[in-house]
Each structure stands twice: as C-alpha cells, then as structure tokens.
Structure 1
Amino acid sequence: MVSLASLLGRQPVSRAKRSVKAKRATDIFVSPDGSDSNAGTLDAPLASIQVAVDQAEAGDTIYLREGTYTPTENIQITKSGKSSAPYTISNYEGESVLIDGEELPYTPGELDSSIPSSDRGIFHIEADYWVFTGFEIAHGPYAIYADNSNNNVYSNLIVRDNYETGLQIQGESSNNLVENVDSYGNHDPRKNGESADGIGIKEGSGTGNVVRGTRLWNNVDDGLDLWEFKSPVTIEETYSWGNGYNRWDFEPFEGDGNGFKLGGGGDAREKGPAAHVVTNCIAFSNSAGGFVDNSQPGDMKLTRNTAWNNEGTGVDSSSNSWDSGSWSNSSFMSLDSSVLTSARAANGSIVASTFLLPSSGTAIGAYYV
C-alpha cells in the first residue's frame, strides 16, 4: 500500500521528533525605554505593549519592565489563548509598573457623553485565556474592560483613579477569576458619578466567575456592582468601604454608594434571578447599603459577612453580623480600618488583623484567613 506521506514526497515524522519541533513558550519584553524595532528580548525590549500583544502567540509571556507606560491608543486584546497555553502579561520580577491612560480619548469624556465600545478600557479585551498580573493601571476610560471573554485571570493588580469602573466584565463571560485586586478612587465626570464602580460584572451572563481577596474603596458609585448579570457570581474575602461619596465635587451628584450591589435592573425581565454566593466579606462606611439585592430576585446565599456603619442594609443569610443581636463599637476588637490598606502579604493575600472581629470571639461575621 502506498502511504499518504510517500505521495506527498516526504517521510513520516516520529512522535519524538514532533515533540522536539513543537513551539516552546516565548518571553517578550517591553520597556518604556525600548524600541519597537527591537527584537523584544530582555536586552532589546519593545516599547509598545500593543506591538508585543500582536507578536505574541498562545503560551507566550509578555514581561513589562519597570516604569510608566503612556499609550495614546488603548490596548486591544482580540486573540485567544488555550487552556494549556494562555497568554500572560506580567511585571518582570516584582518591578513596579504603571500603565497611565491619561493620553487616551475619553479621559475623561464630556458630561453626558458616551464612550464607544472599542474605546472602553486601557485594556479592551474580547478574548479568552489571558492572565494579567502584577501591575498598576490608572486614568483610563475604564482600566480593564472585558466583553464576551472567558477563562481570564486578573490577579495582583491595582486599578485606581480611572474615569470609569476599574475592572468591568460583561456580556457572555464565564470562568473569569478576579483575585487580590485593589480598586479605588475610580470616578466618572461624564456621568457625575453614576457608573464608576470598583469592580463591575454586569449586563450579561456566564457561570464560574469568581471575585476573591479584593479591596474596593472610595469609588464614586458602588464597590462591587452585579447590575443585570443573570448568572451566579462567587464573592469571597472581599472588602468594600467608603464608596459613594462626592470627593470630586460633582454637581448634581449621582453616585449610589453600595458596598456590594448584588444585581437588579430596570424591570423584572432585566433583573433575572441569579443565585450569587457571598462569603466572608466586609462592607463598611459606604454611603448607601452594605449588601443590597437591589430587587434582584435570585436565591442568593450570604454567609459569614459583616456590614458595619453603612447608611443602610437590606437573601438565604446565616452567621452574618446582622443575623444576631445588636452591635455597638464596643462589640468589636478593633475599629481601625487603616490595616486594610497596608501592604499585602507575600502571597498577595490581605494581612490578617482584628478589625471588626467580635470581642466575644463568637463565630459570626467575616473572619480573616
């Protein structure tokens, strides 16, 4: 019998040879002092993150060297990696990296203006299997805007002082992990504070999305907003405080100020039942509610959470601070919230403290892990 290989004039390749010839993951380096005519190596880095993204293939890591990046066009992420070979964008060996979007359009947008979808986010993501870790993003029209994107990881990031929500995931989006992210000071002059949240997972659906170990504070609207997201989101070890106050002198002021807004929508059809799970979270000193369902009719489960000193709080709930007795300042071991903005532990977790732990030692409310 004549083989297909012989008809094509070449010999079969053994499995061993195939594995040797397989492409290995590549490191691509970018630096504020680099050049896009460089090879993208450690010694000859590129200058543009977008050029690195365009050159990368699934499994590659794009390393950002220390310094400030000031793109004039947002970074478009439109090609997907694989479960076995995700793309990664990371700082290099712990170096301090800031991506500053002040030179982008809509920073900020005019009052009552609309931001075109493609201009939303310093990182605009419509792709799967990407990892973003280890850097800071500020002054963008959103820091990260992910639409119809799945299986992405956002970890150990700082998203601050953006002119819209710090990190927003929407559309048909599943299995995304937001872990050890700090989001603060985000505000939207174009809407007088109506929509800039710390983190938003909204206006869409998709299972398996998780928010864990995040800190959300002093955002103009809500800390975490799940507006019109119709699938369950899991939220763990997340702290939300000081949201919804008019620190930017907007007139009229439109910020809401909930610590955790767990859905809701314009009418009953838009609300959609979503059985969100919220565990071991703290909401305090927000201008509105700590944990609010916002008329979202899902069978939500809230366990071991603490709400304290919010302007108002309203779901299967158990072992939360509001499920047992009355509380006063003396009920807690510490009211010093400054520990929450201290440096994170080496593994990225929030450092344990006695803040808002019951003086009695009762196993109720949030605890530190």
Structure 2
Amino acid sequence: MGLRRKRGRHRRRKDRTLPLGSAVIVASAVAGVYLTASPEGASAVPTTVYVATNGSDGDSGTLKSPYRSLEKAISAAKAGTTIEVRGGTYYPARTLRSSASGTPRERVQLRPYRAEKVRLDGSRLGQGSSLVSLRADYWTVSGIELRNAPGGGLVCTSCARNVFQNLSTHGNGDTGLTLRGDDTNGNVIRNLDSYGNHDDATGGQRADGMALTHGSGTGNVVTGSRLFRNSDDGVDLWMWASPVTIEHSWAFENGRNRWHIPYFKGDGSGFQLGADRRGAPSPAHVVRTSAAWANTKSGFEAGGNTGALHLQRTTAFDNWGKGYSFAGSRALLTRNLAVSNGRGSADTGALAASRDNSWTPGGPATPPLVTTDPTTALGPRRQDGSLPVTSFLVVMDRTEIGSTMN
C-alpha cells in the first residue's frame, strides 16, 4: 500500500456522544417529530402508507395518493405501520425522528416500495443534524441509502429488537450508523455498507463506519457488513459496556485523510473494540469470520478493553500498524491469520491467549492466498444483500485458519 507512515496516538474526545440524560434534554429542544411508544402488549391494525416524490402531504398516503414527505409518514407511524417509499431522492428539512415502538407481532417497517431505489439526502439539514433518529423498539429499516447528513446517518438511542438491514450510509459528517444509550438490546445490523463518512470540523476523529458507544445492552449483532474509507475507524465499540457479536464483516481502508482535513486526527483501526466503561465490567466482545485490511492503524484492536475478547477465524492483511493489538487484554485469539501488516502480526501481551494462529509458535504455517487483489470484495452485493463472492484473502489450501470471506 505504498509508504508506511508512523502514526501517533491521540486522546479520544470524551464528547463523541452526549450522555443519555443530556441527549434527552437536547432532543426535546431540537425540531423533529416524536411519538409516544406503544405498549408491548397493545394490538394495532396493520397499516401501509406510501411516500413518493410527486405525492402530497395533504393526500391520504395510499398507493394512488401518496404522501410527499417522510416526515409526514413517520409522524403517523405506530405499531403495525409499514411505510413504503417510492423510488427517488428525498431531502428532509429536519431530522426524521420517532419514539413510536412496534411490538413483537406488529413491527414498524420503513422500506422501499418493491425494489425501487430510495435515497435520503441530508444536505439540507441544519448543522450537526442526523438524518434518522430513533428512540423506539421493534422497527425494521431496510433497503435505503442515507447520505450527506451534517451529523450521523442513523442514530438509535436506548432501542431494542430493531433490525437495520441492506442499508448504505455514506458521506455523512459523523458515524454512518450508531447505537447508543443503556437498555439497547437485541438489535441486528445486517448487510450494512457504511463508507466515506468524515467529520471535518473535529479533525476526522468521530466518523466511523458504525458504532455502539456510550451505552449498554445485550444481544446486539453485526453481520455481513462492510465498513470502509471512513475518517476514523471501521467499527468502534468505544465505551460500550456489554458484549457485542460481529461476524462475516469487513473493515478496510479506514483512517486516510481523503478530504484534506486540516490537523487530521482519524484513528484508522478496522475493528476498535474498547475501551472499558467506568464502573462497568469489561465487555467480552466476539469477532469471528471477519477481515480487516489496509487500515492506517491496526486491523483488530482492543482499544483499552481489558476483557475476555474472543477473535476466531479472522484475517488482518496489509494494515499499516499491527494486525492484532491486544496488549493488556485477556483476549482469546484462535485460528486467526495475519499477513503483511506494517508493524508486525500481533501484540498480545502477557494476558491474552493465542492458539493456532499464524503467528503462534508451533501453530499452522501461513498458507498461500488465492489472491491479494481486493477488487471483487468491493463489488456489488448479492441479490439478497449478502457480501459479494470473492477469492480475496481466501486460503488456497484446506487450512482452517483466517476468515472464510463470506
């Protein structure tokens, strides 16, 4: 990847996200639509409303007479509501907000109409505004592109049992997709592409591909995602107090100053798994069958997390720093593969346990790879939204080491 450059560490800003209490106060003062949550046991009549660029908010929201704005549709959402959006580009005048929850049987769904291409563009929002802000449970948001917001693409605060799938978040002024706050439980982020997010005003140190930050909650899963070319990290679990599972995901080319930001401070780790949250136990995150390449710092990093992290069958390739940086962590690393990283394969310190990794004494030899050309990994996703088929970083023999890249 050309010349390696020596990078110094910087202190992370402690105001990456507002404390939860402050966030509530601020949210009440910011323009947006909030609805009260539906009781989990309440029954609602399923309703489908439609939005189209040639509709009118004075219409009835039917397929033949759609609303024009997502603000209108989301303001009417309740348990059992499906919002179907016709193809086109929408420019909200304010953050799209809701605290109206679905139920286990009657979710709130926001999705394109059939296979039409829907783009939410935040270029007309006020300074620091995110495109979508939820404080709600049992939503499914799918198949939508979120771009060009001054703040984040999608932020969900203290939310549970939501599914965010087949989304693209890019060119935003903060992290592409963020979960934050306590009681954030059981959410699934599936098949996310989050790239090119950059925070110019704060030197590039805030905008990750995706983050779970300043909060807690169990059962959160990230799968099938590509987090790349962001100004800070690919994945950031900064100050998250509960275990997160990440699988079948790729983080690459993060931390480069592609935007000529003055006094650039972006970190550039692929998967940043810390740090510990004060007063909370160290979270034992799990990362498996994932890969990090060509990031400006480490491929996989504990980031100050001293907990029992578990990395299994991952690959770190051509990162500018170390492949794996886990000094001070009680991590367990098994069957991981490190190849051609600028500052060495791994720094596991005295507390971590390494078994059957490419750098482990007596472990498997580094196997040959089918190809080190990443072109196919950057290609279109499969029809169901899953990662593209690729031979990149796939081991040539049957050695069960490193990511399977699927």
User: Do the structures match in fold with TM over 0.5?
Assistant: yes
Alignment of 1:1-369 (within 5 A): 24-106=45-127, 115=128, 119=129, 121-140=130-149, 141-172=151-182, 173-264=184-275, 269=278, 272-312=281-321, 313-314=324-325, 315-322=331-338, 323-325=357-359, 331-369=368-406
Q: C-alpha deviations, 1:232-261, integer Å up to 9, x for none?
A: 000000000000000011110110000000
CA displacement at 1:189 relative to structure 2:
1.1
CA displacement at 1:271 relative to structure 2:
7.4
Q: C-alpha deviations, 1:157-212, integer Å up to 9, x for none?
A: 00011011000101011111000010000000120101100001011100000000
Tell me the residue number matched to 1:19.
none
The answer to whether the 8 Å contact 1:180/1:213 transfers is: yes
Distance 1:342 1:147 in 2: 32
Distance 2:220 2:367 in 1: 37
Equivalent residue of 1:269, what SS? coil
Q: C-alpha deviations, 1:295-352, integer Å up to 9, x for none?
A: 2011111100000111223110101104224999993111121112211111211122
| Structure 1: stretches of 5+ with no match in the other structure | 1-21, 107-114
CA 1:336 to 1:56, structure 2 compared with 1: closer, same or farther past 3 Å? same
Distance 2:366 2:264 in 1: 30
Give the TM-score normalised by structure 1. 0.87
Number of positions where the alignment pairs a residue of Structure 1 with one of Structure 2: 334
The answer to whether the 8 Å contact 1:282/1:307 transfers is: yes
The answer to whether the 8 Å contact 2:268/2:298 transfers is: yes
Distance 1:274 1:181 in 2: 23
Match for 2:210: what amino acid? I
Shifted more, 324-333 versus 344-353: the winner is 324-333
CA RMSD of aligned residues (A): 1.8
CA displacement at 1:219 relative to structure 2:
0.3
Shifted more, 155-164 versus 357-366: the winner is 357-366
| Structure 2: stretches of 5+ with no match in the other structure | 1-42, 326-330, 339-356
Q: C-alpha deviations, 1:15-58, integer Å up to 9, x for none?
A: xxxxxxx8541110001111000110111100111211121221
Give the TM-score normalised by structure 2. 0.79
| Structure with more of its chain in helix, by fraction | 1
Distance 1:272 1:190 in 2: 33
Tell me the residue number matched to 1:16.
none
Distance 2:378 2:394 in 1: 17
CA displacement at 1:214 relative to structure 2:
0.2
Equivalent residue of 2:116, what SS? coil
The answer to whether the 8 Å contact 2:358/2:365 transfers is: no
Q: Which runs of 4+ in 1 moved over 3 A?
A: 325-330
Tell me the residue number matched to 1:5.
none
The answer to whether the 8 Å contact 2:204/2:265 transfers is: yes
